[in-house]
Copies of this chain bind each other. A is one copy, B any other.
Amino acid sequence: MNRTVLLTGFEPFNKETVNPAWEAVRSLAGHEGEGYRVEVRQLPCVFGVAGEVLRAAIGEVKPAVVIAVGQAGGRVDLSVERIAINIDDAPIPDNAQCQLVDKPVVEGGPAAYFSTLPIKAIVARLREAGLPASVSQSAGTFVCNHVFYSLMHQMAGGDVRAGFIHIPYLPQQAAAHPGAPSMALAEVVRGLTIALEAALATGDDIRVAGGAVD
C-alpha cells in the first residue's frame, strides 16, 4: 500500500506574483515514486487561516510525511529548518493585511518544536545529489514559521514525520531583485523529491554536524 506525502506551498506574498514554493510543490501533484504518492495543497499567506487549511488537508489526506515549503527571498540554498518557535512577529503584513507582533502561534503551546524530519540525512542526500543545502536554525517569525509551528503542534505525539523547507527565489524573481541569489525551479523540484524520499527511507537521523556557532 502506498504511503501519502503531503507537500504544501504558499500563495505569492510581499508583492511577488509567483511563489517558488507553490510552483515547485504543484509540479509534484500526483507524483508517484516507489511506495509513495504525493498530494499537494496551496496555503494562504495568512496567519491563522494557513494553519487551518493545513489541518483540514492533513485530516483529509492522512499523510505519512508532511513537508511544508516556503519562499525565503535572499537565501542561497535548500534550507531544511530545524525548529519552529511559538511566536508571530511579522516584519510585513500578511496577505490579509494583518501584522501580528509578539503573539504566540498557539496560546499556551510549548516554546518550540523540533522538526521530525531527518534533517541531517536530507541535507546529506541533497548535497550528494549536487544541490546546495543546509540545516537552518531559524524559520523566521512570519507565516512560514507560523505554519511550521502549527504543523508540529498538530502532529505532536504522533508518528507522522513533519517539517519545513525554505527555498530561494526563482531566477525570474531574482532578476527583479538585484543582488538576490536564486535557484532554478527544476533544481528545487528535484531537491524536494530527494527530501521526501529521504524522509520516507530514513529511520533515525544520521549524526553529523549541521549547527552554527552563532
Cβ–Cβ contact B137 & A207, under 8 A: no
Give the complex CA separation of A4 and B133 in angstroms.
40
Q: How distant is A75 from chain B, measured CB to nearest CB, in Å? A: 7
Between-chain CB contacts (< 8 Å), 24 pairs? A14-B213, A70-B214, A71-B214, A76-B181, A83-B111, A87-B211, A89-B209, A91-B209, A102-B205, A110-B112, A126-B175, A127-B175, A131-B171, A132-B175, A132-B180, A132-B181, A134-B179, A140-B211, A140-B213, A140-B214, A142-B212, A171-B183, A183-B184, A184-B187
Whether A76 contacts B180 in the complex (CB less than 8 A), given A91-B212, A142-B211, A208-B101, comes out as yes
Question: Interface residue count for A (Cβ, 8 Å)?
Answer: 70
Determine the distance from Cα of A54 to Cα of B208 in the docked complex, in whole angstroms: 28
Scoring A residues 96 to 132 as 1 if CB is less than 8 Å from chain B, else 0, what string do you get?
0001011000000011111000001000001101111
B91 touching A114 by the CB < 8 A rule? no
Inter-chain contact A171/B187, CB cutoff 8 Å = yes
**Inter-chain contact B137/A101, CB cutoff 8 Å:** no
Chain B residues whose CB sits within 8 angstroms of the CB of A178 once the complex forms = 77, 132, 134
Q: How far is the CB of A211 from chain B (nearest CB, A)?
A: 3
